[in-house]
Chains A and B, each alone.
Chain A
Amino acid sequence: MRKVSKQVKMLVERVITVGAAAQKRGKNRWAESRAEEERAALLPIPKFQNQSLKAEYLRRFSKYIYRSDYIIIWGDGHKYKNQIIDMIQAHKDFSIIEILYHRPRSVRKLAKAVYSCDYAPFNHLKSKIRCLKKPPKEVLFIFIENWNPQEDYFGEGIFRRLESGTLRAFKEKIRNKFNDEIDVERAEEHLIDVSANELQTHYVLQYIGFDGVDYLKRRHAIIDLPHHVKHNSEFVIKNISIDSLYCNLIAGDSNGFVKEKRVHIKLSPHYRALIKDDKIYRNYIDNSIGRALMDDYYWEKFRNLAQDFKYLAAPYSRSYIAVRQFDTDEYAIIDGLHRAAIMRYQGVKKLSVAVLKGYKRC
């Protein structure tokens, strides 16, 4: 009964915006914590003298150190998406985990998932949903690792909530830069939105069809594999010829359609960009990013990596290129095409790879 009365009270508080009525009730929110506040505090990163010790610490505890957050670029903000992605990449506390285009079947369902943990008044949410219904009905989710969330309480009274100060400041920076100005004041356009807490990220990931935050924080127990590679219990580390490597070039759209084509590594846009022209790589990435390719790839990052790349050098001594054997002495790359292309460019003939047994795309 008490629970129901609390829910009714919460509903009434949210329907009536902050004003005279809210002032009458008082500005304090209940002392009881909300679900998203019950999570254990994030672990700090101590100062390490030894880099390998730091790498070991991060490997063991990374999922307790950073917060998984998302930044949504709504339809109106798509024209600025490259600049926004550049700003995220340049931010010292953020690293992009996954970029994903999404075309919602129902804007209302999307809004429900996105604002499920939002304590803004309903009127505010209604105006947001109205903006979202405008074309193009496509959103871009950018999932990030937030290494310095600076969590604090923001908002007043009943709407007081735990949020990441870093992300909130970043959102304001984007809005100040890209929102139009009306009579010297910033227009309240909804170009982007950010997650307030990790539980919100969890709900959004579940809405998209993943397992929640666990999907982003998944790590292989023994070797370093990205979260999207399905972790199987058996693998073999072996030395193979670099010319036995093939890769799957992919193209796809936001409806989830993905087309794969297997080619030899020397025909990959990655290798061709290193020996000839970076336009091939740029076009490939621009056409596929957020659709078939969801990792954070861009030419400048790839070029910088190629300059002084040493495969399996500390602290990346367990970052093997992951492959799957599809024929005798022929392997398809699952993860590590960029590294393989660089090594072929460097003239390496043989390399150690992790052959995942019974691998299936997840």
Chain B
Amino acid sequence: MTSRSLLHWLWLFVVPLSVAMVIFFTFINPGTPVQGITILWFVTFCPGMSLVPLFQLKHFIIEATLIIAMSLSIDAIVVVISLYSRHWSPFTTLWVLITLCLIGSLLQLRQRLANM
């Protein structure tokens, strides 16, 4: 396994790990300073990180750029939908994003296994 493919496998597990941390620090043990950092990390990177590696662009800076742009866009679209549909609930929105992230991670896992 090359260092590049190892990195991609590692990326695959960053999203579930981040989701676990978000659930722990937001719902199980809230109120710590880590909660803010974890949430900022999650919303800035995770939705994109579960999606962009599927494109297989194979360039770190380009993938990182798209990850941030797509993460914030997906977050905002989900949030605005909840706002205009008069179902504003940040924690429900967070669960929607977590679900999207996990679906993306599963798709990545399937893609990796198919390519092996």
Q: Do A and B come from one complex?
A: no
